[in-house]
Chain A
Amino acid sequence: MYSNHPSHSQQPIVFSQEMLDQSQEIIKHYPEGKQKSAILPIMHIVQKHFGWVSVEAQDIIAEMLKIKPIEVYEVATFYTMFHLHPVGKYVLEVCRTGPCMIRGAEDICKYLEKKLGIKEGEITADGLFTWRTVECLGACGYAPMMQVGEHYHEYLTPEKLDNLISDWKTK
């Protein structure tokens, strides 16, 4: 039985063999008994695979690392990169901090809100997009910018956003 709370997965969560192998490889980076250090790297693997990190996935991580589930929960809720609720297939994370703000980040957010027809943090009806603001991503000289998955998109303009979004829609 699964809870209805959005932090719980509505499907059973199973780690693929590849995810398990990658995780075991990471655990070797640390001295014996210090496998807890693998939490963040493994959560990245989980998020890449499922799009977000559900409570069920966190429980599996705890089991793998032989630690208590709360030790994973407290880490998952501290670091802002992890989505603890379902999100769109593409998460557009726009930097809102000072250097990006003075180069037009606020206009980019307004444009995205209108273009996608959703407020910050929501998911489009087709399940494809979520957008949100984040703090400094270290691309201040190439502002305004956003991160999508493992990529940075810099010097953003409405035209550039239009092209990116239509590409993602047809993928």
Chain B
Amino acid sequence: MGRKLLLEHAKVPGIRHIDTYIQHGGYRSVHKALKTMTPDEVVEEVKKSGLRGRGGAGFPTGMKWSFLAKPEGIPRYLVCNADESEPGTFKDRYLMEYLPHLLIEGMITSSYALGANTSYIYIRGEYRWVYTILVEAIAEAYAKGYLGKNILGSGFNFDLYVQPGGGAYICGEETALLESLEGKRGNPRMKPPFPAIKGLWQSPTVVNNVETIAAVVPIVNEGGDEYAKIGIGKSTGTKLISACGNIKNSGVYEIDLGLPVDEFLNSDEYCGGVANGKRLKAVIPGGSSVPIVPAGLFYKNIKGEDRLMSYESLSDGGFASGTMMGSGGFIVYDEDQCIVRNTWNLARFYNHESCGQCSPCREGTGWLVKVLDKIEHGKGATMADIDLLWDIQRRIEGNTICPLGDAAAWPVAAAIRHFRDEFEWHIKNPQLAQSKNYGLVKETVYQTV
């Protein structure tokens, strides 16, 4: 049984309300930070904790915070990225829905550390009921004196607002999010300057994921060193994983980083195994942007070692045989699923969500959909189309302002890398492929590309 640093009280009746939340130890970190610590000491604890960004990139949070420029007389901002839109990911929604005050507490403590007097939670527009939960919780926090002027007599003034998005995956990219928060189209910005220097309204800004900000609460309460004891290597602490697809128990789980993937997928405490007694075909462990891996490479790396739920272990082997931790959107595919159809579906997603700013992404994602549609729907594809797909994705990757281009390229590359025979089967049997799925890969095809 793993520790629950974030979700321990998620199912306590009434925990959405501040009184119940405080009864269960809530807002302790605000008291501790504002009354006994300097802002720099809070940053130091976060650095010691080894906490890494939980939105997908896994960048060390303490380091990101230390980049924040602090010129005199210019406001600084903390912006919480709650634009959770990565297919397979629904962990932040769960956290905000059940524990709105945990996020608010994290925002207060983190903003104190960064010297921000106004902060925003940018939440995807579709999570409207969660928006309402947060707005109500913020009103409670104002009434209790945790928000507003001179919080707990510390002299720290802090206002917190929730901003709804309008339906755009791209706004999960931090500079697109800032553009959107400024009331513009969500087109990512050229970097540098990074948001830490020029962010929201050209002021120094830190953008952090919901789960990252929530994790600051136990880090301040227990100390960074205690937090760093959990996990393995550079993957410290706990991580929320949203599990979906063909599994018995879909849902959001808090795990200690370093849990064996076998245990996570197959034990009843977590996913409970593949549903309906089917066999496992493939897994996308970190949201749809990370490479899909076949069952064989999922359980063990190519050295034959057990894979663990950690940043390092999941990416062991690079893209040739590994994948990524990503956002923790864990999607499981059973033997009946068609990899070509899934790849076409995801390519359509990225094409739909491309902001259109960079040609390789705008045009390339469209081409990926066209070619995949031809293969999937038996419209006269040839073997050369597989190479064409490979060529297109290669020309998108690394050639765009933001990582959406990479996110569109990687799933296609990984599908071809590991399931090329399934693509070939579709092309050779265009009629049959309309009514029947290819099934399981005969043996794991491993090739270095």
Contact = CB atoms under 8 A, between A and B. Distances in A.
Interface string A87-101: 000000000111101
A75 B252 CA distance: 33
A128 interface: no
Given A78-B185, A102-B342, A138 B128 contact: no
Interface string A26-69: 00010100101111110110000000000000000000010000
A78 B250 contact: no
Contacts of A37: 163, 181-183
Contacts of B181: 37
Interface in B174-192: 180-186
B242 interface: yes
B166 A141 contact: no
Contact size class for B? 35 or more
Interface stretch (B32-40, B83-91, B306-314, B379-387): B83-91
Contacts of A80: 166-168
A40 B165 CA distance: 7
B168 A141 contact: no
Nearest to B181: A37
Interface in A131-153: 134-143, 147, 149-152
A33 B333 CA distance: 50
B352 A135 contact: yes
Contacts of A141: 90, 242-244, 250-252
B244 to A, nearest CB: 4
Interface in B114-173: 118, 120, 124-129, 132, 161, 163-169
A135 B349 contact: yes
Contacts of A41: 163-164
Task: Among B166, B168, B345, find the residue whose CB has the most chain A CB atoms closer than 10 A.
Answer: B166
A135 B169 contact: yes
A136 B84 CA distance: 10
B127 A143 contact: no
B47 interface: no
Interface in A3-45: 29, 31, 34, 36-41, 43-44
Nearest to B355: A78
A31 B132 CA distance: 23
B169 A99 contact: no
B345 A140 contact: no
Contacts of B209: none
A137 B126 contact: yes
Nearest to A136: B87
A65 B184 CA distance: 13
Contacts of B243: 141
A111 interface: no
A140 B329 contact: yes
Contact of A43 (B75, B86, B163, B166): B166
Contact of B90 (A36, A65, A82, A138): A138
A81 interface: yes
B67 interface: no
A2 interface: no
Contacts of B87: 97-99, 135-136, 140
Contact of A40 (B85, B163, B349, B355): B163
B331 interface: yes
5 contacts: A29-B161, A99-B244, A102-B245, A141-B252, A142-B250
Interface of B: 75, 84-90, 93, 118, 120, 124-129, 132, 161, 163-169, 180-186, 201, 242-246, 250-252, 288, 329, 331, 333, 337, 341-342, 345-346, 349, 352-353, 355
Given A79-B166, A99-B244, A142-B250, 12 more contacts: A31-B75, A40-B166, A41-B163, A79-B167, A79-B168, A99-B88, A135-B349, A140-B88, A140-B90, A140-B244, A140-B329, A140-B331
Interface of A: 29, 31, 34, 36-41, 43-44, 65, 71, 74-75, 78-82, 96-99, 101-103, 134-143, 147, 149-152
